[in-house]
Amino acid sequence: MSRSRPIGIVVQKFGGTSVGDVTRMKSVADRVARTHRAGNRTVVVVSAMGGTTDELVDMAAKISPHPPGREMDMLLTAGERISMALLAMALYELGVPARSYTGSQAGIITDGEHGKAKILEITPMRVHEGLDEGDVVIVAGFQGVSAETKDVTTLGRGGSDTTAVALAAALGAEVCEIYTDVDGVYTADPRIVPDARRLERMSFDEALELTAQGAKVLQVRSVEMGRNHGIPIHVRSSFSYQPGTMVVPQEDIVEDAIISGVAHDTSEAKVTVQHVPDTPGVAAQLFSAIADANVSIDMIVQNVSEDGATDISFTMPSGEVHGLRGVLDDFVAAVGAKGVTVDEQVAKVSLVGAGMKTHPGVAAKMFQALSDRGINISMISTSTIRVSVVVAVADAEEAVRTVHAAFDLGEG
Amino acid sequence: MSRSRPIGIVVQKFGGTSVGDVTRMKSVADRVARTHRAGNRTVVVVSAMGGTTDELVDMAAKISPHPPGREMDMLLTAGERISMALLAMALYELGVPARSYTGSQAGIITDGEHGKAKILEITPMRVHEGLDEGDVVIVAGFQGVSAETKDVTTLGRGGSDTTAVALAAALGAEVCEIYTDVDGVYTADPRIVPDARRLERMSFDEALELTAQGAKVLQVRSVEMGRNHGIPIHVRSSFSYQPGTMVVPQEDIVEDAIISGVAHDTSEAKVTVQHVPDTPGVAAQLFSAIADANVSIDMIVQNVSEDGATDISFTMPSGEVHGLRGVLDDFVAAVGAKGVTVDEQVAKVSLVGAGMKTHPGVAAKMFQALSDRGINISMISTSTIRVSVVVAVADAEEAVRTVHAAFDLGEG
């Protein structure tokens, strides 16, 4: 009997921990070999072996405090080169033909922003060639080549996930599997909420909100890319063969759960500019200056004006507050505000669920649960499928558990 | 006053020891910066940092006993990528603009023989671009890209020297400087002959004979390439600013020294096939079989035939004798010879000098000196500018000192 199943392309991405040493590398090879033998056209995207990138960064730091971006990218891309060649060798040992390609060879064309390049286009001729000849094709994650100068670039944080999803889109893959050290997306961080439940399925929008609000398992850029191209992303563990969480287009979800999960993020600070004169355009002036400094801010709250002045609060990455100080002081001086306060002891707790847009009262129920627990809310922001609150960092874990319980998200 | 000196291209090559750690890397950068500031268009070829290649080879060995050549080359080329990016950063720190290029980016086109590729062509457009814009251009040694499949290749042993000289030829450089841990070519190994003298100048032919006969300071392939393209090679120390030894075309040498130096090599074995029937074509049959096994043999001695049979002796790399055993045994059986003996306790001592072709009696004087010292010669081979003898390995160092003294090669 001949096999009638159509042969689709599967893209599998393994991060630095998954290929962290020779033993793990062999176990990844074993998994890839099974995928190949099951009849799939298999493309593997790998990161540098865990620790390699840090070692290279350390060496560079010993030579130059501010190394040029072009050379930093040349340096760092050595990392994936090593891991992908070793993985190809491990596959050969299992009798599976494989060939590795750099980002440039795989046709990952980017802009010229070294260290945080964006993918402009993928021309995967050589990937197709390799697949057509029956090989497993291994592609270096995190890297590409600039369209204009043909220099080697890196995609920045989470770049290997981006490579994997972008490549899956360019190849028309059936699925992009992201292998990680947890077995999927949970209703909350299981270290904080012991009865947190693994989600079998969720929409891109939910994954995007959860990820943007602090869930670490996925990268925002890769989820966005999966959504834009309709490529299902399967988040799963590299340590087991159990299925993980499928992130799929909204239309593939038969019935929305009201709530998918609770995310939290302690990496942001709350900044308040005090007593800003309430004249037209003053907020625009503040946030333009912040944008010019290339700082992304998140939640913004402006109170109703009293006596012609108002406080404007917003959250932003704690690590960038120091660098923004001059911009804020200039603004205070220019408009005659009173001053700036910074509170780094805050946490953001977010409730995400595609179903909440048709279920009024979700926000109210969340605020009530926190209030019943004696947890004070200092900022609120909402989207159609998310409610976020800022609380004191000391209350963060209790807030996550409280909200998780209030919406019955746990097991059983 | 404007400078009237024409601006030429200088290629400088630094090996793994010269860029072995951050301190040495900075010292190399300092030297390159001086060359650049002196008004030269400067191209630097670097090897991987000392030890890196061994580490990568070890990792591969843990995964596969016989890794595929394509992937081994992908792996190993990570080494130069690291060293060249770090060197570019070190130059930036000194205020010297620099850019690094992989072999592929620098246009080093090779055949497809992974692990021992040959350079077919160099198309250094990007190198010229970099130089035209006033940058120091750093090129990864040892690596290229295959003409047919566009795969990354490595040039094998001594590959960075080959890259440097080939690039110097393609760029029409004034000189190719090979930086190493000794300060030039000596009349003999100074560890064996304390009064050995550094040669200021020698011809390509002499350098080639010395190198082929065991002098380690240069690589045969790069000297051949320098000779074929008329590129002067300056062998000098990376630890001092003193000039080393210039290797130049024969016509640039005003008067040949009779003797340039004494080389020795203990890495070969002497193989004797005993009592071979002396019929036409029998030697051709033996050496064809050896060539088919891809083994390079060196000296060959066939004694005058007695009673219709003769002994045939030759030297070859000791490490390859075991692999050739089957070929030799087959030959013995096929022609009815008596057997094969192998003597690994031998050394080859060679006297090299372009002047000896016009000075008869050099060989006789050498043999006499060895004989006076009681050193037995078991094989002899000569070229127009070289006399080589095989002696017992226990006599090797004494033989070098004896010949060195007999021809007054020492200092003072």
Separation of alpha carbons B79 and B50, rounded Å: 9
Query: Residue B92 and residue A56: Cβ atoms within 8 Å?
Result: no
DSSP A198-223: B-SEEEHHHHHHHHHTT--SS-HHHH
Chain B residues inside the 8 Å CB shell of A82: 56, 59, 75, 78
Is the pLDDT assigned to residue B3 strictly greater than 70? no
Tokens of A2: 């001949």
* CB proximity A333 to B under 8 Å: no
The answer to whether residue A214 is domain-embedded is: no
Separation of alpha carbons A33 and A178, rounded Å: 16
How confident is the model at residue B233, as a pLDDT?
Answer: 97
* CB proximity A25 to B under 8 Å: yes
* CB proximity B62 to A under 8 Å: yes
Separation of alpha carbons A230 and A251, rounded Å: 10
DSSP state of B377: P
**Chain position carrying tokens 């699925």:** A175
Separation of alpha carbons A136 and A43, rounded Å: 6
Mutate to test the interface with A, among B52, B55, B89, B91 (most CBs of A within 10 A): B89
Query: Residue A67 and residue B92: Cβ atoms within 8 Å?
Result: yes
Q: Which of A79, A88, A105 sits opposite B71 (nearest CB)?
A: A88
Q: What is the CATH number of the domain that holds A159?
A: 3.40.1160.10
Chain B residues inside the 8 Å CB shell of A56: 82
Q: What angle do CA B346, B352, B356 make, to 5 degrees?
A: 130
Separation of alpha carbons A77 and A75, rounded Å: 6
In terms of Cβ atoms closer than 10 Å to its own Cβ (0-12, 13-18, 19+), residue B233 is buried
The answer to whether residue B50 is domain-embedded is: yes
The beta strand positions in A268-338, using DSSP E, are 268-277, 300-302, 309-317
Residue of A nearest to B99 (CA): A71
Query: Residue A81 and residue B78: Cβ atoms within 8 Å?
Result: yes
The answer to whether residue B281 is domain-embedded is: no
Chain B residues inside the 8 Å CB shell of A85: 60, 71-72, 74-75, 78
CA dist B171 to B47, B126, B229, Å? 20, 12, 11
Chain B residues inside the 8 Å CB shell of A98: 71
Total residue length of chain A: 412
**Chain position carrying tokens 């009638």:** A4
| Position A257 confidence tier, pLDDT thresholds 50, 70, 90 | confident
Mean pLDDT over A23-39 rounds to 96
**Residue A110: helix, strand or coil by DSSP?**
strand
Helix (H) or strand (E) holding B229: helix B220-229
* CB proximity B100 to A under 8 Å: yes
Query: Residue B63 and residue A26: Cβ atoms within 8 Å?
Result: yes
The answer to whether residue A225 is domain-embedded is: no
| Position B1 confidence tier, pLDDT thresholds 50, 70, 90 | very low
Mutate to test the interface with A, among B25, B28, B49, B82 (most CBs of A within 10 A): B82
Chain A residues inside the 8 Å CB shell of B98: 71
Residues A233 and A247: beta-carbon distance below 8 Å: yes
Chain A residues inside the 8 Å CB shell of B25: 63
CB atoms within 10 A of CB B18: 24
* CB proximity B71 to A under 8 Å: yes
Residues B352 and B389: beta-carbon distance below 8 Å: no
Query: Residue A68 and residue B82: Cβ atoms within 8 Å?
Result: no
CA dihedral B242, B243, B245, B251 (to 10 degrees): -170
B93: closest CA of chain A, how far (Å):
6
- Bridge partners of A231, per DSSP, are none
Q: Which of A63, A64, A93 sits opposite B63 (nearest CB)?
A: A93
A113: closest CA of chain B, how far (Å):
16
How confident is the model at residue B293, as a pLDDT?
Answer: 86
Separation of alpha carbons A26 and A90, rounded Å: 6
Strand order in the sheet with B300-302: B300-302, B309-317, B268-277, B339-343
pTM of the model: 0.85
Residues A253 and A203: beta-carbon distance below 8 Å: yes
Separation of alpha carbons A188 and A115, rounded Å: 31
Residues 6+ apart with CB under 8 A from A66: none
Residue of A nearest to B56 (CA): A82
* CB proximity A64 to B under 8 Å: yes
* CB proximity B57 to A under 8 Å: no
Q: Output the average pLDDT for chain B.
A: 91
Residues A370 and A378: beta-carbon distance below 8 Å: no
Chain A residues inside the 8 Å CB shell of B63: 22, 25-26, 86, 89-90, 93
Residues 6+ apart with CB under 8 A from B120: B109, B110, B111, B147
In the chain, the amino acid numbered B82 is I
**Chain position carrying tokens 């995400």:** A352
Separation of alpha carbons B246 and B173, rounded Å: 15
The beta strand positions in B93-203, using DSSP E, are 98-101, 108-110, 119-122, 136-140, 143-146, 152-154, 175-180, 201-203
Residue of A nearest to B72 (CA): A85
Separation of alpha carbons B5 and B376, rounded Å: 56
The answer to whether residue A354 is domain-embedded is: no
- A5 vs A384, more confident: A384
Residues B375 and B391: beta-carbon distance below 8 Å: yes
Domain that holds residue B162: 9-180
Q: Tell me if ipTM is over 0.90.
A: no
In the chain, the amino acid numbered B55 is E
The per-residue pLDDT for range B163-198, each reduced to its tens digit, is: 999 999 999 999 999 999 888 999 999 899 999 999
The per-residue pLDDT for range A327-364, each reduced to its tens digit, is: 999 999 999 999 999 999 999 999 998 888 778 788 88
Query: Residue B59 and residue A86: Cβ atoms within 8 Å?
Result: yes
The per-residue pLDDT for range A259-275, each reduced to its tens digit, is: 889 999 999 999 999 99
CA dist B161 to A112, B8, B177, B343, Å? 32, 20, 10, 33
**Residue A182: helix, strand or coil by DSSP?**
coil
- A251 vs A140, more confident: A140
Residues 6+ apart with CB under 8 A from A384: A356, A357
Query: Residue A68 and residue B92: Cβ atoms within 8 Å?
Result: yes
Tokens of A158: 């989470």
B31: closest CA of chain A, how far (Å):
16
Tokens of B9: 């291209």
Chain A residues inside the 8 Å CB shell of B99: 70-71
CA dihedral A80, A81, A87, A89 (to 10 degrees): -170
Mean pLDDT over B207-225 rounds to 86
Q: How many helices (H) and strands (E) does chain A have?
A: 12, 20
**Ramachandran bin of B334, using left for φ above 0, alpha for ψ from -120 to 50, beta for the remaining angles:** alpha
* CB proximity B59 to A under 8 Å: yes
Mean pLDDT over B403-409 rounds to 94
The per-residue pLDDT for range A151-172, each reduced to its tens digit, is: 999 998 789 999 999 999 999 9
Separation of alpha carbons B275 and B337, rounded Å: 5
Query: Residue A64 and residue B92: Cβ atoms within 8 Å?
Result: yes
Query: Residue B86 and residue A100: Cβ atoms within 8 Å?
Result: no
Separation of alpha carbons A328 and A294, rounded Å: 13
The answer to whether residue A213 is domain-embedded is: no
Separation of alpha carbons B166 and B228, rounded Å: 10
A 37-56 residues inside an 8 A Cβ radius of B:
56
Chain B residues inside the 8 Å CB shell of A89: 60, 63-64, 67-68, 71-72, 75
How confident is the model at residue B315, as a pLDDT?
Answer: 92
Query: Residue B81 and residue A78: Cβ atoms within 8 Å?
Result: yes
CA dist B332 to A137, A297, B205, B272, B358, Å? 49, 84, 37, 11, 42
The answer to whether residue B171 is domain-embedded is: yes
Separation of alpha carbons A123 and A171, rounded Å: 9
The per-residue pLDDT for range B305-332, each reduced to its tens digit, is: 667 888 888 999 998 999 899 999 999 9
The per-residue pLDDT for range B232-275, each reduced to its tens digit, is: 999 999 989 999 999 999 888 777 678 889 999 999 999 999 99
Residues 6+ apart with CB under 8 A from B288: none
Residues A340 and A193: beta-carbon distance below 8 Å: no
Separation of alpha carbons B162 and B76, rounded Å: 17
CA dihedral A318, A324, A330, A335 (to 10 degrees): -50
CA neighbor of B119 nearest in space, from B63, B189, B168, B175: B168
Number of Cα atoms under 13 Å in the Cβ half of residue A409: 30
Mean pLDDT over A372-382 rounds to 89
Residue of A nearest to B23 (CA): A63
Region of poorest pLDDT, from A89-98, A196-205, A290-299, B153-162: A290-299
Is the pLDDT assigned to residue B86 strictly greater than 60? yes
Is the pLDDT assigned to residue B353 strictly greater than 70? yes
Residues 6+ apart with CB under 8 A from A105: A126, B150
Backbone angles phi, psi at B7, to 5 degrees: -90, 110
How confident is the model at residue A305, as a pLDDT?
Answer: 66
How confident is the model at residue A5, as a pLDDT?
Answer: 45
How far does Cα A29 stand from its chain's mean position?
25
| Position A3 confidence tier, pLDDT thresholds 50, 70, 90 | very low
Residues B97 and B104: beta-carbon distance below 8 Å: no
In the chain, the amino acid numbered B153 is T
* CB proximity B94 to A under 8 Å: no
Residues A155 and A213: beta-carbon distance below 8 Å: no
The answer to whether residue B320 is domain-embedded is: no
A 135-194 residues inside an 8 A Cβ radius of B:
150
Question: What total number of domains does chain B contain?
Answer: 1
Separation of alpha carbons B79 and A75, rounded Å: 10
